[in-house]
Every structure is written in C-alpha cells, then in structure tokens.
C-alpha cells in the first residue's frame, strides 16, 4: 500500500517564550514543531496533538500542511516522545515536492513462515534486517514491504536485494546482495540429550560421593 496525502492544519509558533512556552502548548494539547528544507526558511509551528497522531498513524506519512491560505507538502524527519507516556513532544518536518523522489526508511515484514517446510521441521527463522531505505515519489513510498517466506527450508539465507518492491520504488544502499535479510537455522539438539548429559553427570557425582563415604566408613572400622 502506498502512502496517501493527509491534510494537517498548523499554526505559526512564536519561539521567544522558549521551553516554558513549549510546555504550555503541550498542556493545551498541542505539539510544537519545526518545518525545514525546500526553498523556504525554517518555520516554527504548533499542531493539535490528536490530529498529528492520526496523521502519523501510517508509516512514511505525506502531510499537506495548511497555514492560513497557504499549503505545503512535507514528510516527517524526526519525532521526539515522552519517555514515560510515549506521547509526541516535538516533531520535525521537511518540505517535499510530490513530483520529486525522496529517500525514506520502510519496515520489512516476513509473512507466511509458519507454513514453511523448514519451520515445520523445527528450523528457526532469524530476521536480521527489519527496515530498509527506499527511493520513490513521496506518495509512492510503501508503508511496509512484505516478504513471503512460506517456502523456506533449513539452511536458506535471503538477502536484502531480493525484497520485492512496487513499481516506481527502488532499494537504495551499497552491497544489498550481501546484507542478510533473514536466515533459517537448524533446530537445537534435543533437550533430552542435554538432560541425559546432566543426569549422567549427577549419577557420576553421586557414585563418587557414595564411594568416598564407603571409604570413610571403612577407615572408622
């Protein structure tokens, strides 16, 4: 699924009040932020916290910001969250054009592995890469890239360059054919064997203890 444009009204923010003014905004249910990039100067703004949360619900959201009679398109550069509540406390946005490709980070989800032969045989799927960089028009950035692992067998190793991407989307980065996405490893040795080793060790220990006790008893006699 590609990203859709979400409208988000913002208000210009006076930064002269510093951190005290920012705290007041948060108490009023608004989130301070800064808009960067493009052909404009940095713009300090604030936005309704609930509307921002809804707008950012999808990964890589493209935002159509409205400020008075003006509109501009932006994507999220960075968000800051409260360490306890997890609520957004500040947001940085960057201007984009809908007709110019951008680079974005997209999560990767492995699907279908529960039905794979290698998993049914006891293999373990280990996912090394959980997100990748892609290049595409802002509205073509996928929310998630799904990789089908329903046919994997023990010993398989899949690399990032094999991730299927929609038309108009390109994986970016060097050596993607050497970066492991996931691998399927053989199951561990039977726990019964481990238990057998432990039991044998215990028996040997007990036998040695009994022998020592017998020797001690013989000396007393």
* pLDDT given for residue 20 in this prediction: 87
Q: What pLDDT is stored for residue 36 in this prediction?
A: 93
pLDDT in tens, 142-171: 989 999 999 999 999 999 999 999 999 999
Is the confidence at residue 220, as pLDDT, over 70?
no
Say whether pTM exceeds 0.85. Answer: no
Rounded mean pLDDT of 53-60?
80
**For residue 191, what pLDDT is reported?**
52
| pLDDT for residue 136 | 95
207 pLDDT exceeds 90?
no
Lowest mean pLDDT: which of 67-76, 111-120, 148-157, 200-209? Answer: 200-209
pLDDT band at 18 (very low <50, low <70, confident <90, very high): confident
Between 12-16, 170-174, 190-194, 205-209, the lowest mean confidence (pLDDT) is in: 205-209
* Best CA proximity match to 209, nearest among 221, 217, 197, 220: 217
Alpha helices (runs of H) in the chain, residue ranges in sequence order: 18-27, 49-55, 117-120, 191-220
Using left for φ > 0, alpha for ψ between -120 and 50, and beta otherwise, residue 195 falls in alpha
Q: What distance in Å separates the CA atoms of residue 17 and residue 59, rounded to the nearest whole number? A: 32
Q: Where are the domains of the chain?
A: 5-95, 108-185, 190-221
Cβ(95)–Cβ(72) under 8 Å? yes
* Among 25-34, 36-45, 93-102, 205-214, the least confident range: 205-214
Burial of 156 (0-12, 13-18, 19+ CB in 10 A): middle
Q: Given a cut of 70, is residue 55 above it in pLDDT? A: yes
Protein fold of 108-185: RNA Polymerase Alpha Subunit; Chain A, domain 2 (2.170.120)
Gap between the Cα atoms of 10 and 75, Å rounded: 14
**Region 64-81: what's the mean pLDDT?**
92
Other beta carbons within 10 Å of 216: 9
Mean pLDDT of the chain: 86
Q: Are strands 88-95 and 30-36 parallel, antiparallel or unpaired?
A: parallel
SS3 63: strand
Residue-level pLDDT at 221: 44
Share of the chain above pLDDT 90, in %: 64
Top CATH class of 5-95 equals: mainly beta
Structure tokens at 139: 């509205």
Phi, psi (degrees; rounded to nearest 5) at 189: -60, 150
Retrieve residue 10's tokens: 């913002």
In angstroms, the Cα distances linking 28 to 43, 141, 161 are 21, 33, 47
Q: Backbone phi, then psi, for 83, in 5-degree steps?
A: -65, -20
Measured distance CA(190)–CA(19) in Å, rounded: 59
Give CA 49 to chain center in angstroms.
23
Is the pLDDT at 213 greater than 90, yes or no? no
Q: What's the number of CA atoms in the CB half-sphere (13 Å) around residue 124?
A: 7
> Tens of pLDDT along 82-136?
899 888 999 999 999 999 999 999 999 999 999 999 999 999 999 999 999 999 9
Q: How many CB atoms are closer than 10 A to CB 183?
A: 18
């Amino acid at each position: 699924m590609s990203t859709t444009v979400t409208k988000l009204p913002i208000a210009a923010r006076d930064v002269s009040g510093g951190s005290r003014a920012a705290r007041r905004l948060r108490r009023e249910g608004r989130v301070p932020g800064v808009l960067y990039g493009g052909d404009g100067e940095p713009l300090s703004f604030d936005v309704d916290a609930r509307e921002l949360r809804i707008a950012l619900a999808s990964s890589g959201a493209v935002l159509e910001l409205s400020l008075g009679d003006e509109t501009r398109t932006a994507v999220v550069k960075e968000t800051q969250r409260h360490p306890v509540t997890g609520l957004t406390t500040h947001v940085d946005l960057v201007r984009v054009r809908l007709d110019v490709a951008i680079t974005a980070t997209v999560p990767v989800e492995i699907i279908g592995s529960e039905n794979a032969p290698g998993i049914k045989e006891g293999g373990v799927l280990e996912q090394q890469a959980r997100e990748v960089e892609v290049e595409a028009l802002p509205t073509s950035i996928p929310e998630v890239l799904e990789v089908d692992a329903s046919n994997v067998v023990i010993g398989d190793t899949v690399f990032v360059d094999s991730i299927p991407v929609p038309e108009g989307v390109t994986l970016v980065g060097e050596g993607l054919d050497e970066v492991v996405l996931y691998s399927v490893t053989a199951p561990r040795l039977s726990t019964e064997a481990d238990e057998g080793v432990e039991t044998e060790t215990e028996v040997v220990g007990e036998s040695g203890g009994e022998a020592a006790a017998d020797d001690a008893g013989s000396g007393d006699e």
